[in-house]
């Protein structure tokens, strides 16, 4: 998901002309910003789902900026809320911070105030979207692993994103509190240190190269995986996404969002090992073996299975009863109803069946079979191992 996609902004100010001026100024500054001018603060909470960010004036009758912030935070803890104050109204900052304001910016200056505000909106919304993308990626990876291999359970239950700010030398200027969950170090222990000092020696040059590339080309946003030494001494795999905002006057730093992917890397290693083990078992078994999905698709087959069916191995893989050239019948030659195929019964019941007689028609010919089947061990029983105990032509 690109962080460059449009951002929907609610501009809230009871003074219609100033409200329109802010909305127009933001859209003129950044083509990413799509603004909606709102002069009635009481209508904002009913429309929160429409916006990625809220920019509100402070001094408004009835519902001022702080009260609007309080009402918004009751409904949504995460949506960025920027208080766009008049000159001299910074005295509300402490109250705003306690209520969960994202930032407050003064209205002083000419058109550059819209540049500052637009940059800040992009920064906070991009950070929020990056955090959401981390969670979506975690869920997608977990689901993919669960589908591919039944015995794996979800390993990535919580993967908090950290936010760091580096200078142009790669030195930590700011470290979010969540960094302790990932590295074991509290922020003060990392501030002032080089971000590369604890990167594994074999990964350091690659990480520094990606950092340098983004320094020379601010539009380049690197994503890099590397090993980082935890405070305990262990090596943790980290995925970091960077954005060069050194020229942004509101940030003046290199923003890095990171997460611990050590469990994901270990899961991938285990998945590769299990795949290799399955392949080896298929190859060394003297019996014809098929690995079938619940819908009857043949996912894998060993050479012995291809031999007894008179087909090439790659021709056998992928066949299913959905194809006109493939049919399975019971021992009396009668059609089998949906839901009663051997692999469906075994997968649904989660128990093995042995010595089942049936008939099969494949592109290579018609056969009588005696087969046994067993579900893959684990929580997901969508895969079934079928062993051909005996076979002959019809």
- In this model, does residue 89 exceed pLDDT 50? yes
Quote the tokens at residue 190: 């990392």
Residue 139 belongs to a domain: no
Residue 148 belongs to a domain: no
8 A C-beta contact, residue 191 and residue 175: yes
Count structural domains, the chain. Answer: 3
Residue 266 belongs to a domain: no
- In this model, does residue 38 exceed pLDDT 50? yes
Q: Tokens 């959905």 appear where?
A: 322
Q: Same domain for 302 and 252?
A: no
Residue 366 belongs to a domain: yes
Looking at residue 97, its pLDDT comes to 86
Residue 267 belongs to a domain: no
Q: Same domain for 30 and 116?
A: yes
What is the share, in percent, of the chain residues with pLDDT greater than 90? 51
Return the CATH number at 173: 3.30.450.20
Q: Same domain for 239 and 313?
A: no
Looking at residue 1, its pLDDT comes to 42
Compute the average pLDDT of residues 124-132.
Answer: 88
Quote the tokens at residue 13: 């100010």
Looking at residue 147, its pLDDT comes to 62
Q: Same domain for 387 and 284?
A: yes
Model pLDDT for residues 204-217, shown as the tens digit of each residue: 999 999 999 999 99
Model pLDDT for residues 53-73, shown as the tens digit of each residue: 999 998 888 898 899 999 999
Can you give the chain as a three-state secondary structure string? CCCCCCEEEEEECCCHHHHHHHHHHHHHHCCCEEEEEECCHHHCHHHHHHCCEEEECCCCCCCCHHHHHHHHHHHCCCCCEEEEECCCCHHHHHHHHHHCCCEEEECCCCCHHHHHHHHHHHHHHHHHHHHHHHHHHHHHHHHHHHHHCCCCCCCCCCCCCEEEEECCCCEEEEECCCHHHHHCCCHHHHCCCECCCCECHHHHHHHHHHHHHHHHCCCCCCEEEEEEECCCCCEEEEEEEEEEECCCCCCCEEEEEEEECHHHHHHHHHHHHHHHHHHHHHHHCCCCEEEEECCCCEEEECHHHHHHCCCCHHHHCCCCCCCCCCEEEECCCCECCCCCCHHHHHHHHCCCEEEEEEEEEECCEEEEEEEEEEECCCCCCCEEEEEEEEEEEC
Q: Same domain for 319 and 249?
A: no
Residue 150 belongs to a domain: no
Q: Same domain for 283 and 220?
A: no
Looking at residue 145, its pLDDT comes to 62
Quote the tokens at residue 347: 């997968």
- In this model, does residue 381 exceed pLDDT 60? no
- Of 101, 123, 145, the one marking the end of a domain is 123
Q: Same domain for 286 and 388?
A: yes
Domain boundaries, position 204? 160-260
Mean pLDDT score across all residues of the chain = 86
- Of 215, 233, 260, the one marking the end of a domain is 260
- In this model, does residue 236 exceed pLDDT 80? yes
Residue 270 belongs to a domain: no
Looking at residue 154, its pLDDT comes to 29
Quote the tokens at residue 96: 């705003």
Return the CATH number at 92: 3.40.50.2300
More confident residue, 85 or 361: 361
Residue 340 belongs to a domain: yes
Q: Same domain for 12 and 118?
A: yes
Angle subtended at Cα 337 by Cα 333 and Cα 340, rounded to the nearest 5 degrees? 100
Looking at residue 358, its pLDDT comes to 93
Q: Same domain for 254 and 282?
A: no
């Amino acid at each position: 998901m690109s962080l460059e996609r449009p951002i929907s902004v609610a501009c809230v100010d009871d003074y219609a002309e100033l409200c329109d001026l802010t909305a127009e100024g933001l859209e003129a500054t950044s083509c990413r910003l799509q603004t909606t001018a709102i002069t009635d603060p009481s209508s904002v909470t009913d429309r929160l789902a429409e916006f990625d960010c809220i920019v509100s004036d402070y001094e408004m009758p009835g519902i001022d900026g702080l009260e609007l912030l309080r009402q918004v935070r009751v409904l949504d803890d995460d949506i960025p809320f920027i208080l766009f104050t008049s000159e001299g109204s910074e005295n509300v900052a402490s109250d705003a911070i306690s209520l969960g304001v994202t930032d407050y910016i003064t209205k002083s200056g000419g058109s550059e105030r819209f540049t500052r505000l637009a940059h800040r909106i992009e920064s906070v919304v991009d950070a929020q979207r990056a955090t959401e993308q981390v969670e979506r990626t975690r869920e997608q990876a977990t689901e993919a692993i669960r589908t591919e291999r039944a015995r794996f359970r979800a390993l990535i239950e919580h993967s908090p994103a950290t936010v760091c700010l580096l200078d142009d030398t790669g030195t930590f200027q700011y470290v979010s509190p969540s960094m302790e969950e990932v590295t074991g170090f509290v922020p003060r222990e990392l501030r002032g240190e080089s971000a590369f000092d604890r990167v594994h020696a074999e990964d350091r040059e690659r990480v520094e190269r990606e950092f340098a590339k983004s320094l020379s080309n601010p539009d380049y946003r690197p994503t890099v995986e590397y090993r980082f030494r935890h405070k305990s001494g262990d090596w943790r795999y980290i995925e970091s996404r960077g954005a060069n905002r050194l020229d942004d006057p509101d940030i003046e730093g290199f923003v890095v969002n990171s997460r611990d992917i050590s469990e994901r890397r270990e899961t991938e290693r285990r998945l590769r090992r299990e795949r290799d083990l399955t392949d080896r078992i298929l190859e060394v078994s003297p019996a014809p073996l098929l690995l079938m999905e619940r819908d009857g698709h043949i996912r894998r087959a060993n050479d012995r299975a291809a031999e007894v069916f008179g087909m090439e191995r790659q021709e056998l893989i992928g066949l299913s009863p959905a194809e006109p050239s493939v049919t399975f019948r019971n021992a009396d030659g009668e059609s089998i109803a949906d839901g009663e195929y051997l692999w469906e019964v075994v997968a649904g019941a989660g128990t093995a069946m042995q010595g089942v007689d049936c008939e099969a028609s494949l592109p290579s010919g018609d056969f009588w079979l005696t087969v046994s089947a067993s579900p893959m061990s684990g929580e997901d029983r969508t895969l079934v191992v079928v062993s051909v105990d005996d076979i002959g032509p019809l």
